[in-house]
């Protein structure tokens, strides 16, 4: 029991939002923090890879994850596809993500995160991204409009307006997941693509390690294992056309953080 409360104390001291993060945020770190440490000379452009015939943008799809730190339940994450909409004359997929700590952890630290991405239905790049976060005593908002033609991101963060030149096809923190699910990838290869994290445009890179059978609540599934280099963050995608992320693992200062898919609707 003492060890448990030691973990909780450390959780608060280390500013929990950097320890408990949604799969969307971990995927962002997973793909973007490595850009200084990974050689991408042999990486292939992910955006140029063939598209899987069966699109992962299935209207009404809801993925629910449970998060644990050192085996202790910490919170939940839900990612869903609301369906197709029109945005500025373009057909887009409207994707939402929400994450929060559970009631027990909420006694020590309040954290919730809501985000939305509007992803072009043909080219799979985002046209708009919005996020609202409660992180302890901080509450913040960010909204980004992507002008992919002129390669400009118009950002409003906590009422501050900025414009940023960005590469064509740039991704946001939520659309990254669906780009990985949409494109064909090969074992043993590295892939790169541009992404916007916060207000910075970075070059992301990811390595595809192996196939692996993984025990889940849905039974044993064949998966593709993708990993950041050199960071110890790993993601398991089902080895089929759905390419569903069923597990995410990340090392933190207080131990392993694990997201396991618990429900699909």
Measure the CA dihedral 86/89/91/95, to 10°: -50
Q: How many CA atoms lie within 13 A of 104 on its CB side?
A: 10
Domain annotation covers residue 89: yes
Kindly report, residue by residue over 156-182, the tens digit of the pLDDT.
999 999 999 999 999 999 999 999 999
Q: Give the bridge partners for 111, in sequence order.
A: 135
Q: Under a CB-based contact definition with an 8 Å cutoff, are residues 69 and 238 in contact?
A: no
CA distance 195 to 172: 6
Q: Which of 256, 207, 214 is nearest to 238 (CA)?
A: 214
Is residue 206 within 8 Å of 32, Cβ to Cβ? no
Residue 209, pLDDT above cutoff 70: yes
Mean pLDDT of 19-26: 52
Q: 244 pLDDT exceeds 60?
A: yes
Q: Regarding predicted confidence, which is higher, 254 or 89?
A: 89
Ramachandran angles phi, psi of 231, nearest 5°: -65, 145
Q: What pLDDT was estimated at residue 263? A: 96
State the residue range of the domain holding 45. 15-264
Nearest to 226 by CA among 172, 196, 181: 181
Question: How many domains would you assign to the chain?
Answer: 1
Residue 7 resides in a domain: no
Question: What are the DSSP E strand ranges found in 111-199?
Answer: 111-120, 126-135, 138-147, 152-157, 160-165, 190-197
Does a structural domain hold residue 99? yes
Residue 4 lies in a domain: no
- C-alpha 155: how far from chain center: 20
Q: What is the pLDDT of residue 2?
A: 38
How far apart CA 247 and CA 35 sit, in angstroms, is 23
153/201 Cα distance (integer angstroms): 9
- What percent of the chain shows pLDDT beyond 70? 82
Query: Computed from CA positions of residues 135, 141, 147, 152, in that sequence, does the dihedral angle turn out positive or negative?
Result: negative
Report the alpha-carbon angle 247-244-204, nearest 5.
75
| Unique residue bearing structure tokens 């307006």 | 161
* Structure-model confidence comparison of residues 241 and 228, the more confident one: 241
Tokens of 187: 């074992």
Tell me what pLDDT residue 207 has.
93
Mean per-residue pLDDT for 252-258? 77
Residue 1 located in a structural domain: no
Confidence of residue 205 (pLDDT cuts 50, 70, 90): confident
- What's the confidence (pLDDT) of residue 26? 53
* Mean pLDDT value of segment 116-128: 96
Confidence of residue 1 (pLDDT cuts 50, 70, 90): very low
Is residue 231 very low, low, confident or very high in pLDDT (cuts 50, 70, 90)? Answer: low
Domain assignment of residue 224, yes or no = yes
pTM attached to this predicted model = 0.84
Give 221 or 32, the one with higher predicted confidence: 221
């Amino acid at each position: 029991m003492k060890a448990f409360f030691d973990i909780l104390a450390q959780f608060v001291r280390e500013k929990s939002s950097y320890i408990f993060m949604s799969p969307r945020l971990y995927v962002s770190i997973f793909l973007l923090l490595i850009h200084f440490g990974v050689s991408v000379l042999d990486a292939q452009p992910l955006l140029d890879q063939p598209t899987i015939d069966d699109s992962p943008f299935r209207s009404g799809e809801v993925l629910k994850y449970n998060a644990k730190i050192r085996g202790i339940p910490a919170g939940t994450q839900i990612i869903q596809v609301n369906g197709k909409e029109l945005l500025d004359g373009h057909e887009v997929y409207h994707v939402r993500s929400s994450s929060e700590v559970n009631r027990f952890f909420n006694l020590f630290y309040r954290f919730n995160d809501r985000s939305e991405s509007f992803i072009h239905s043909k080219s799979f790049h985002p046209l708009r991204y919005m996020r609202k976060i409660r992180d302890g005593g901080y509450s913040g908002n960010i909204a980004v409009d992507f002008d992919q033609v002129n390669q400009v991101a118009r950002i409003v963060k906590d009422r501050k307006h900025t414009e940023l030149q960005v590469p064509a096809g740039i991704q946001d923190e939520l659309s990254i997941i669906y780009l990985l699910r949409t494109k064909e990838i090969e074992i043993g290869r590295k892939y790169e693509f541009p992404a916007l994290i916060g207000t910075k445009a970075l070059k992301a890179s990811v390595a595809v390690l192996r196939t692996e059978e993984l025990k889940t609540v849905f039974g044993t599934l064949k998966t593709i294992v993708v990993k950041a280099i050199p960071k110890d963050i790993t993601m398991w995608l089902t080895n089929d056309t759905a390419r569903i992320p069923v597990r995410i693992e990340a090392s933190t200062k207080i131990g392993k953080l694990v997201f396991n898919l618990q429900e699909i609707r």
